[in-house]
Amino acid sequence: MKKIFTTLCLVIILTILTACGNESGGGGDDQYVIRIAWWGSQMRHDATIEVIELFMEQNPDIYIEYEFFDPDGYWTAMNTRVASDDVWDVFQMGGNFQQYIDNILDITPFIEDGTIDVSRTDESFLNTTYFEGKMVGISNGVNSNGIAFDPALFEEAGAPLLHADWTWDDFANSAMIIHENLGIYGSSALSDFIALTILVTQSGANFFDPATNSTTLGFDDPSILVPYFEMRRDLVQAGAFPDAGRLATITDIEGDLLVTGDAAMTWVASNQFITVANAAGRPLELVPLPRLTAGGESGMGLTSSQMLSISNASPYPEAAARFINFFQNDEEANRILAGERGVPIMSHIREMLSENADENLATVYAFVGLAGELDTGLGNPLESPNNPEIRDHFEFLLEQVIFGQIEAEAAAEDLRDFAEDVLARN
Amino acid sequence: MAAKIEVEKKSFSLKDFIQKENTVGYVFAAPFIIGFLAFTLIPMILSLYYSFTDFNLRGGDWIGLENYVRLFNDDRFINSVLVTLRFVFVSVPLRLAFGLLVAYLLTRKAKGVSFYRALYYLPTLIGGSIAVAIVWRELFSINGAVNVMLEGLGAAPVNWFGDPRMAMWPLILMSIWQFGSSMIIFAAGLKEIPAELYEAAEMDGANKLKSFFKITLPCLSPVILYNLIMQMISAFMTFTQAFVITGGGPMDSTNFYALYVYRHAFDFFNMGYASAMSWVMLVIISIFTVIVLKTSKYWVHQN
Amino acid sequence: MNKKTIKKITYHILILAFGFVMVYPVLWMISGSLKDNSEILTGSLNLIPDVFRWENFANGWRGFGGISFSVFFRNSLFVAVVSTIGTVLSSACIAYAFSRIKFKGSKFWFGVMLATMMLPFQVILIPQYIIFHRLGLVGTYLPILIPNFIGRAFFIYLMMQFMVSIPKELDEAAIMDGCNKYTVFTRIIFPLLRPALITSAIIQFYWAWDDFMGPLIYLQRPQMFTVSIALRNFADTTSVTDWGAMFAMSTLSLLPVFVMFLFFNKQLVEGISTTGVKG
């Protein structure tokens, strides 16, 4: 007993000593020290750190301190830093960047003076990170949403294969046919709020009004929202779409119902297609989202899956810009990053990566190319700082409709009123 | 104040001063008081102030009672309070009962008791990890172990996470499952009960059950009171289980108040509104705590 | 076999059977550390993996960008040990003030202490961060460690309840023998509080080990990360996650808390016969 106790004490003392002896930060006097943060999983952390080290090797005048997080933790950490004016010099941002617009530096000067080289990309890609006259960052990868499906299951069920110009009615019909003939779900989870806002665009309006920078709603008549509520309710009640209990068991995209063979379609952001297809181990195909009417407005657009932005409180914005340039344009760096953050916007990087690309990567590149052609040019009609609150309320209403607590019409009206309230309050 | 006047009357003596009850009290309580003033008081005041503003990360303006008015018209907030109360009233008594029962069974002088106690403490150790969230979802999924067991018993399978009336139960079961901390505290309390009392009761012919009610429960009542209050407060604050397992759904049936506060504070950036919610709940929780403390004199035996 | 043996055996069987049900999810997690992603996610409830993937441990241990789990374990151990010592000592002092000393305002401060538990961390987090930021302490372990030296309501109140059962006559006798209020604490109360101290240490060690929010926002360099943060860094549900590696490291992270429990629990069992207070 005594022995164990003594050993324990020794271990403790040693830990304390070593842990304290390890407080030294990096960076010499003649170096710019910049801090950078991102979220992701082990693979992304490893690759990003390797790129940072490569950059520091080639740019000895810059020292980079880095922090990485899981996706939930990142935003908690970000918010505490915003509240105390202590934001990192360079940080990863997603579609919610408007929330942090006051902390983001306009990088146009660095593009103009050539610090960030954008000669090998084009307007439609750059526009994904352009907002209110400000260049808020450079996209790490662009995306477009689509539906991935398993052609073999479609054939087995006798459902017509999906193609680029299809409708929400086709979606519902295919789901029903597959469910009736194979006993599995027609489709796995949809990204409901994005689907709803795209449906509004397809109806000839916009969920948020682009003319007021999304500070008001872009539609009046709630009846254009009704079809979506009804479709989701009917599919769940028929058993062709998973209910809340089944959806809760999907842990991540590798465990998606399409991967496990329990559904024949699923919603993916284009960069997720590769993961889904690899995990499924069966040939899958990717088509754009359904439309309201065949040949009608597609509502599709390119979005930046995430970007690197510079803090407007950064003491060394130029050093930060040099890192971003390296991150976007350096071939060796991008060989390490391997396009894991989305389809790269620089043409030479895309070419380099497609040299030894497999079929799935080629599918994604072709898809993003198609989305670029169909791009509505509205930027992202979805983006409003109030998105999370409105989306949360929409999902609550959707569940109420599915459980038969309220009618679709009432839910549509409630959603419009709620969204108006939220926008008016902020 | 009184101490000061007394000091002035007598000639000042440092030694006397140090031995005064008030001095001793404040010396020993100093870590808490200093820590509270330095690190907790300001955040508390700030959050109270925020509750009268529309504070988000970009700043905020004074809006008076608007947040509080909005709260009482927010059906989802009222629902979250009811959901939390339901959780507290079901999970806390069960958790304490289990903790006490297992602690009692494991105080016998039998071989392996130490090992058994470790076994029963293990679930508590994996707490709010992502791993346990995944395990729990698997166990209660449609084809999960729990349903397989139910079917074996001839009952119909339950759509645990898909049915708003049932989704609370996996969370309650998880809370009961992690009774380890209460168990340890009960076990320590049981050790303090003098063995002579049991011996005397046995001489009087009392059986195990009788001596449990006549000796164990009364002697343990201060510890029971303690566990009741602490587990109640922490059950009111339950966040992690709902956050990692159900996300509040379906249809807000597990939207605990702490989760709703988090949503507003960190997802929707309504820090002012979230603060108002927290202060309303602080009042509700203190009312329950005071009720328990006031009634305790009828059932807690002080020596 | 006599009746007593049968009774004994039933006792052990019942305890073990119920114990197995209790730890089944834990065992599932441990077996998950040897499975691959698809086996974990398709909900197989088997405890024996199809193929034993020991490489999960190597993949997990490697950590992130060259910082291995040995660093995270050392950091966690440091934080947990220091905060356990701090919490137990400070809570004992504060509990003594509240339960044994009649000082002005003790009721008020006791109420304040309970109230501090009732405000959710979600609304305190940001103001607290601002304070530590102004003090220039963000990026060090101090914002995580300091709050442990100011006592924790959970343990203060626990120790108060235990002091209730220590007879006041003991204090009075000690004062007759020349003790003062300070030495009564160090010589009488503190030693007699042993079961409560051990209990607090067990629980606090685990809490500090498991704490996530504090380390998440205050530790700014990966070299300082604790195990609980590192574990979350495996998972990105919108991208690729190595669940096997995460389960492997989750399993390893159980070990120190479990060993600590066994150690203290033994103390708790041994402690009874010597300190039993006769009321």
Domain residue spans of chain A: 32-142+303-374, 145-301+378-425
Q: Would you give the distance in Å from CA A376 to the centre of its chain?
A: 19
Instruction: With beta carbons less than 8 A apart as the criterion, state whether B194 and C277 touch.
Output: yes
CATH 3.30.930.10 fits A32-142+303-374, yes or no: no
Number of folded domains that form chain C: 1
The DSSP line for C115-159 is HHTTS-HHHHHHHHHHHHHHTT-BTBSHHHHGGGGG--HHHHHHH
Q: Tell whether the model's pLDDT for residue C40 goes beyond 50.
A: yes
Q: What DSSP character marks residue B298?
A: G
Which 3 state secondary structure label does DSSP give B159?
Answer: coil
- Chain A residues with beta carbon closer than 8 angstroms to that of B266: 75-76, 79
Token pair recorded at residue A358: 């497999």
- Chain C residues with beta carbon closer than 8 angstroms to that of B289: 114, 118
Tell me if C91 is assigned to some domain. Answer: yes
Instruction: With beta carbons less than 8 A apart as the criterion, state whether A235 and A172 touch.
Output: yes
Which residue type, as a one-letter code, is found at position C79? Answer: V
Q: Quick one: which of B256, B82, B49 has its CA closest to C120?
A: B256
Q: What is the pLDDT of residues A46-80, one digit of tens each?
A: 999 999 999 999 999 999 999 999 888 899 899 88
**In the CATH scheme, what is the homologous superfamily, with its name and number, of domain B67-298?**
MetI-like (1.10.3720.10)
Q: Tell whether the model's pLDDT for residue A31 goes beyond 90.
A: no
B58: which residues sit within 8 A by CB, 6+ positions away? A102
Which residue type, as a one-letter code, is found at position A71? Answer: P
- Chain C residues with beta carbon closer than 8 angstroms to that of B4: none
Residue with tokens 């001489």: B203
Q: Tell whether the model's pLDDT for residue C52 goes beyond 90.
A: no
Rounded to an integer, what distance in angstroms lies between the CA atom of residue A403 and that of residue A396? Answer: 11
Kindly indicate the confidence band of residue C272, based on its pLDDT and cuts at 50, 70 and 90: very low
Please count the residue pairs, one from chain A and one from chain C, whose beta carbons lie less than 8 angstroms apart.
130
Burial of A230 (0-12, 13-18, 19+ CB in 10 A): middle
Kindly indicate the confidence band of residue A263, based on its pLDDT and cuts at 50, 70 and 90: very high
Q: What DSSP character marks residue C79?
A: H
Q: What DSSP character marks residue C190?
A: H
Average pLDDT over residues C130-157: 91
Tell me if C112 is assigned to some domain. Answer: yes
List the single range of A372-376, B72-76, B153-157, C117-121 with lowest mean pLDDT. A372-376
Mutate to test the interface with B, among A396, A406, A415 (most CBs of B within 10 A): A396
First to last CA, chain C: 40
Token pair recorded at residue A250: 């999907």
**φ, ψ of residue A284 in degrees (nearest 5):** -120, 160
A402 to chain B, closest Cα gap in Å: 10
A252/C64 CB distance under 8 A: no
For chain A, the chains sharing at least 3 beta-carbon pairs closer than 8 angstroms are B, C
Please, what CATH class does the domain formed by A145-301+378-425 belong to? alpha beta
Complex ipTM > 0.95: no
Handedness of CA B72, B77, B83, B86 (dihedral sign): negative
Residue A416's pLDDT is: 95
Rounded to an integer, what distance in angstroms lies between the CA atom of residue A336 and that of residue A324? Answer: 15
Q: Quick one: which of C146, C199, C80, C270 has its CA closest to B226?
A: C199
Average pLDDT over residues C105-129: 87
Q: What DSSP character marks residue B245?
A: I
A232: which residues sit within 8 A by CB, 6+ positions away? A190, A192, A241, A398, A401, A402
Helix or strand (DSSP H, E) at A290 = none
Residue C277's pLDDT is: 42
- Chain C residues with beta carbon closer than 8 angstroms to that of B110: 8, 11-12
Greatest mean pLDDT among A179-188, A265-274, C241-250 lies in: A179-188
Rounded to an integer, what distance in angstroms lies between the CA atom of residue B40 and that of residue C233? Answer: 30
Range of the domain at C160: 63-233
C101 to chain A, closest Cα gap in Å: 34
Which residue type, as a one-letter code, is found at position A194? Answer: I
Which 3 state secondary structure label does DSSP give A189?
Answer: coil
Tell me if C144 is assigned to some domain. Answer: yes
Q: Say which residue, A104 or B58, is predicted with more confidence.
A: A104
**φ, ψ of residue A287 in degrees (nearest 5):** -125, 160
Instruction: With beta carbons less than 8 A apart as the criterion, state whether C153 and C111 touch.
Output: no
Rounded to an integer, what distance in angstroms lies between the CA atom of residue A182 and that of residue C189? Answer: 72
Share of chain A above pLDDT 70, in %: 91
Residue C269's pLDDT is: 63
Average pLDDT over residues A369-376: 74
Of C38, C133, C245, the CB nearest to A42: C245
Tell me if C180 is assigned to some domain. Answer: yes
Instruction: With beta carbons less than 8 A apart as the criterion, state whether A89 and A34 touch.
Output: yes
Which 3 state secondary structure label does DSSP give C68?
Answer: coil
B47: which residues sit within 8 A by CB, 6+ positions away? B275, B278, B279, C119, C123, C124, C127
Tell me if C176 is assigned to some domain. Answer: yes
Instruction: Respond yes or no on whether the N-terminal peptide bond of residue B250 is cis (omega within 30° of 0).
Output: yes
Q: Tell whether the model's pLDDT for residue A303 goes beyond 50.
A: yes
C23 to chain A, closest Cα gap in Å: 22
For chain C, the chains sharing at least 3 beta-carbon pairs closer than 8 angstroms are A, B
Q: What is the pLDDT of residues B90-100, one digit of tens each?
A: 999 999 999 99
Q: Where are the beta strands (DSSP E) in A138-211?
A: 138-143, 145-149, 185-187
Nearest CA in chain C to A18: C74
Instruction: With beta carbons less than 8 A apart as the criterion, state whether A299 and A206 touch.
Output: no
Strands A32-39 and A62-69: parallel
Token pair recorded at residue B117: 């106690």
Rounded to an integer, what distance in angstroms lies between the CA atom of residue A298 and that of residue A372? Answer: 12
Rounded to an integer, what distance in angstroms lies between the CA atom of residue A147 and that of residue C91? Answer: 57
Please, what's the b/e burial string for B84-102 (b: 16 or more CB within 10 A of its CB; e: otherwise)? Answer: beebbebbbeebbebbbeb
Q: What is the pLDDT of residues A183-241, one digit of tens each?
A: 999 999 999 999 999 899 898 888 988 888 788 898 999 999 999 999 999 999 999 99
- Chain A residues with beta carbon closer than 8 angstroms to that of B136: none
Tell me if C252 is assigned to some domain. Answer: no
Those of residues 8-67 in C touching chain A at CB distance below 8 A are 37-38, 41-43, 64-66
Q: Tell whether the model's pLDDT for residue A24 goes beyond 70.
A: no
Nearest CA in chain B to A393: B76
Residue B86's pLDDT is: 95
Nearest CA in chain B to A404: B251
- Chain B residues with beta carbon closer than 8 angstroms to that of A82: 57
Q: Tell whether the model's pLDDT for residue C22 goes beyond 50.
A: yes
B162/A246 CB distance under 8 A: yes
By the CB < 8 Å criterion, does B250 face chain A? yes
Helix or strand (DSSP H, E) at B134 = helix B130-139
Token pair recorded at residue C265: 């629990």
Tell me if C21 is assigned to some domain. Answer: no
A69 to chain C, closest Cα gap in Å: 6
B119/C109 CB distance under 8 A: no
Question: What CATH number does residue C72 fall under?
Answer: 1.10.3720.10
Q: Quick one: which of A196, A189, A195, A204 has its CA closest to A225?
A: A196
Which residue type, as a one-letter code, is found at position A212? Answer: T
- Chain B residues with beta carbon closer than 8 angstroms to that of A396: 76, 251-252
Residue C275's pLDDT is: 41
Please state, in angstroms and as integers, the Cα–Cα distance from residue A3 to each residue in A7, A8, A10, B99, C31, following that order: 6, 8, 11, 33, 33
Average pLDDT over residues B121-136: 80
Same CATH fold assignment for domains A32-142+303-374 and A145-301+378-425: yes
Please state, in angstroms and as integers, the Cα–Cα distance from residue A199 to each residue in A292, A373, A378, B82, following that order: 7, 19, 15, 36
Kindly indicate the confidence band of residue B138, based on its pLDDT and cuts at 50, 70 and 90: confident
Which residue type, as a one-letter code, is found at position A301? Answer: G
Helix or strand (DSSP H, E) at B15 = helix B14-19
Kindly indicate the confidence band of residue C270, based on its pLDDT and cuts at 50, 70 and 90: low
Residue with tokens 């001063």: B17
